[in-house]
Amino acid sequence: MNDFVETFAEFASALTDAQDFDDTADHLIRYAVDSLGASFGGITLIHTKGRLETTGATDPMVEKVDLAQY
């Protein structure tokens, strides 16, 4: 439990220091990947008119996989 609290505290601190949306997304996805033990991660944004965009990708493979799904 201590590791979780420490990791979450570091995450909260990183979010406080985030400069903009992209920086926040990067911190969020890196925290999620580390916490879940995933190999890669990314966030798909849905813009107006249904345009999809990948942000916060931790590896170029994430963008390739997302493009194949879109």
Is the model's pTM score more than 0.75? no
Tens digits of per-residue pLDDT, 1-56?
A: 577 778 778 877 877 877 888 888 888 888 889 888 899 999 999 999 999 999 98
- What is the Cα–Cα distance from 65 to 70, expressed in whole angstroms? 9
Q: What is the pLDDT of residue 46?
A: 93
Domain boundaries, the chain: 2-69
**Inter-CA distances, 42 with 2, 5, 6, 9, 30, Å:** 27, 23, 23, 22, 9
